[in-house]
Amino acid sequence: MTTTTNITIIPYQKAYQVHFERLNKAWLEAYFKVELVDAWVLGNPEEAILKDGGTILFAAAGEEIIGTVALKYMAPGIYELTKMAVDESFQGNGAGKRLCAAAIDKARELGAGELILYSQTSLKAAIGIYRKLGFTELPLEPGKYERADIKMRLLLR
Protein backbone atom coordinates (compact mmCIF):
# COMPACT_ATOMS: atom_id res chain seq x y z
CA MET A 1 0.00 0.00 0.00
CA THR A 2 1.18 3.50 -0.81
CA THR A 3 1.69 5.71 2.23
CA THR A 4 1.90 9.47 2.50
CA THR A 5 5.70 9.25 2.41
CA ASN A 6 5.43 7.81 -1.11
CA ILE A 7 3.12 10.58 -2.32
CA THR A 8 4.40 13.72 -4.01
CA ILE A 9 2.38 16.85 -4.69
CA ILE A 10 2.87 18.32 -8.15
CA PRO A 11 1.44 21.35 -9.97
CA TYR A 12 -0.96 21.33 -12.91
CA GLN A 13 0.31 20.61 -16.40
CA LYS A 14 -1.98 20.55 -19.44
CA ALA A 15 -1.29 16.82 -19.84
CA TYR A 16 -2.84 16.23 -16.39
CA GLN A 17 -6.26 17.67 -17.35
CA VAL A 18 -7.43 14.12 -18.16
CA HIS A 19 -6.62 13.07 -14.58
CA PHE A 20 -8.37 16.12 -13.13
CA GLU A 21 -11.48 15.13 -15.07
CA ARG A 22 -11.15 11.36 -14.46
CA LEU A 23 -10.68 11.60 -10.70
CA ASN A 24 -13.44 14.13 -10.12
CA LYS A 25 -15.96 12.43 -12.40
CA ALA A 26 -15.37 9.09 -10.66
CA TRP A 27 -15.91 10.71 -7.27
CA LEU A 28 -19.00 12.64 -8.37
CA GLU A 29 -20.56 9.61 -10.06
CA ALA A 30 -19.92 7.46 -6.97
CA TYR A 31 -21.56 9.86 -4.50
CA PHE A 32 -23.71 12.34 -6.42
CA LYS A 33 -24.01 13.23 -10.09
CA VAL A 34 -21.99 15.31 -12.53
CA GLU A 35 -23.80 18.64 -12.77
CA LEU A 36 -23.48 20.79 -15.91
CA VAL A 37 -21.14 23.20 -14.12
CA ASP A 38 -18.95 20.24 -13.05
CA ALA A 39 -18.66 18.95 -16.61
CA TRP A 40 -17.63 22.39 -17.84
CA VAL A 41 -15.06 22.98 -15.08
CA LEU A 42 -13.54 19.50 -15.45
CA GLY A 43 -13.28 19.80 -19.22
CA ASN A 44 -11.98 23.39 -19.13
CA PRO A 45 -9.84 23.86 -16.00
CA GLU A 46 -7.58 26.45 -17.64
CA GLU A 47 -10.61 28.68 -18.26
CA ALA A 48 -12.61 27.78 -15.13
CA ILE A 49 -9.85 27.77 -12.49
CA LEU A 50 -6.42 28.81 -13.73
CA LYS A 51 -7.25 31.89 -15.83
CA ASP A 52 -8.25 34.06 -12.88
CA GLY A 53 -5.31 33.13 -10.66
CA GLY A 54 -6.38 29.77 -9.28
CA THR A 55 -4.28 26.65 -9.19
CA ILE A 56 -4.63 22.88 -9.42
CA LEU A 57 -2.45 20.39 -7.57
CA PHE A 58 -2.06 16.64 -7.99
CA ALA A 59 -0.98 13.81 -5.73
CA ALA A 60 1.27 11.28 -7.42
CA ALA A 61 2.34 7.83 -6.26
CA GLY A 62 5.39 7.25 -8.41
CA GLU A 63 4.27 8.00 -11.97
CA GLU A 64 0.57 7.48 -11.19
CA ILE A 65 -1.70 10.47 -10.57
CA ILE A 66 -3.90 9.43 -7.64
CA GLY A 67 -5.55 12.65 -6.49
CA THR A 68 -6.24 16.29 -7.21
CA VAL A 69 -7.46 19.52 -5.63
CA ALA A 70 -8.07 23.02 -6.95
CA LEU A 71 -8.01 26.53 -5.55
CA LYS A 72 -10.42 28.85 -7.33
CA TYR A 73 -9.91 32.60 -6.97
CA MET A 74 -13.11 34.15 -5.57
CA ALA A 75 -12.16 37.70 -4.50
CA PRO A 76 -9.03 39.48 -3.28
CA GLY A 77 -7.60 37.32 -0.49
CA ILE A 78 -10.29 34.61 -0.82
CA TYR A 79 -9.96 31.25 -2.56
CA GLU A 80 -12.33 28.32 -2.73
CA LEU A 81 -10.90 24.86 -2.11
CA THR A 82 -12.72 22.76 -4.69
CA LYS A 83 -12.61 19.63 -6.84
CA MET A 84 -10.70 17.50 -4.35
CA ALA A 85 -10.75 13.83 -5.29
CA VAL A 86 -8.59 10.78 -4.57
CA ASP A 87 -8.65 7.57 -6.60
CA GLU A 88 -10.77 5.04 -4.71
CA SER A 89 -7.97 2.47 -4.57
CA PHE A 90 -5.74 5.02 -2.78
CA GLN A 91 -8.27 6.39 -0.29
CA GLY A 92 -7.41 6.01 3.37
CA ASN A 93 -3.64 6.38 2.91
CA GLY A 94 -3.37 10.10 3.71
CA ALA A 95 -3.44 11.40 0.14
CA GLY A 96 -6.51 13.57 0.78
CA LYS A 97 -4.98 15.16 3.86
CA ARG A 98 -1.70 15.76 2.00
CA LEU A 99 -3.56 17.38 -0.90
CA CYS A 100 -5.61 19.57 1.42
CA ALA A 101 -2.53 20.65 3.42
CA ALA A 102 -0.65 21.42 0.18
CA ALA A 103 -3.61 23.50 -1.04
CA ILE A 104 -3.59 25.46 2.23
CA ASP A 105 0.14 26.13 1.82
CA LYS A 106 -0.40 27.18 -1.80
CA ALA A 107 -3.26 29.50 -0.79
CA ARG A 108 -0.95 31.22 1.69
CA GLU A 109 1.69 31.50 -1.05
CA LEU A 110 -0.93 33.14 -3.30
CA GLY A 111 -1.66 35.70 -0.57
CA ALA A 112 -5.00 34.31 0.57
CA GLY A 113 -6.28 35.30 3.98
CA GLU A 114 -9.25 32.99 3.78
CA LEU A 115 -10.12 29.63 2.24
CA ILE A 116 -13.71 28.52 1.85
CA LEU A 117 -15.18 25.22 0.76
CA TYR A 118 -18.54 23.63 0.16
CA SER A 119 -19.11 19.97 0.91
CA GLN A 120 -21.64 17.36 1.96
CA THR A 121 -21.82 16.16 5.57
CA SER A 122 -22.29 12.57 4.39
CA LEU A 123 -18.63 12.67 3.31
CA LYS A 124 -17.38 11.98 6.83
CA ALA A 125 -13.71 11.39 5.91
CA ALA A 126 -13.46 14.66 3.98
CA ILE A 127 -15.21 16.68 6.69
CA GLY A 128 -12.87 15.09 9.25
CA ILE A 129 -9.83 16.18 7.24
CA TYR A 130 -11.15 19.73 6.94
CA ARG A 131 -11.84 19.98 10.67
CA LYS A 132 -8.39 18.54 11.58
CA LEU A 133 -6.78 21.17 9.37
CA GLY A 134 -8.67 23.99 11.10
CA PHE A 135 -11.74 24.63 8.94
CA THR A 136 -14.84 25.76 10.83
CA GLU A 137 -18.46 25.76 9.74
CA LEU A 138 -20.21 28.85 8.35
CA PRO A 139 -23.86 29.41 7.44
CA LEU A 140 -24.53 27.96 3.99
CA GLU A 141 -26.06 30.37 1.50
CA PRO A 142 -28.91 28.71 -0.43
CA GLY A 143 -28.48 27.67 -4.04
CA LYS A 144 -24.68 27.83 -4.28
CA TYR A 145 -24.23 24.13 -5.10
CA GLU A 146 -26.98 21.56 -5.48
CA ARG A 147 -25.18 18.87 -3.47
CA ALA A 148 -23.62 21.06 -0.74
CA ASP A 149 -25.09 21.08 2.75
CA ILE A 150 -22.09 22.58 4.57
CA LYS A 151 -19.83 25.58 4.06
CA MET A 152 -16.52 25.81 5.87
CA ARG A 153 -13.81 28.43 6.23
CA LEU A 154 -10.16 28.53 7.23
CA LEU A 155 -8.63 31.87 8.18
CA LEU A 156 -5.00 31.97 7.07
CA ARG A 157 -3.87 35.16 8.82
For the chain, domain boundaries:
4-113
Query: Which long-range CB contacts under 8 A does 11-15 form with residues at least 24 apart?
Result: 11/55, 11/56, 11/57, 11/58, 12/45, 12/50, 12/55, 12/56, 12/57, 12/58, 14/46
The domain defined by 4-113 folds into Aminopeptidase (3.40.630)
Nearest CA among 91, 85, 122 for reference residue 103: 85
d(CA 16, CA 58): 8
d(CA 61, CA 47): 27
Q: What is the pLDDT of residue 5?
A: 61
Q: What is the pLDDT of residue 157?
A: 81
DSSP character string of 27-39: HHHHHS---HHHH
Read off the pLDDT of residues 107-153 as tens digits, 9 standing for 90 and up.
Answer: 999 999 999 999 999 999 899 999 999 999 999 987 777 888 999 99
pTM, 2 dp: 0.93
pLDDT at 38 over 80: yes
Read off the pLDDT of residues 80-97 as tens digits, 9 standing for 90 and up.
Answer: 999 999 999 998 889 999
Q: Read off the pLDDT of each residue in 8-35 and give the average, rounded to a whole number.
A: 94
Stated length of the chain: 157
Confidence of residue 1 (pLDDT cuts 50, 70, 90): very low
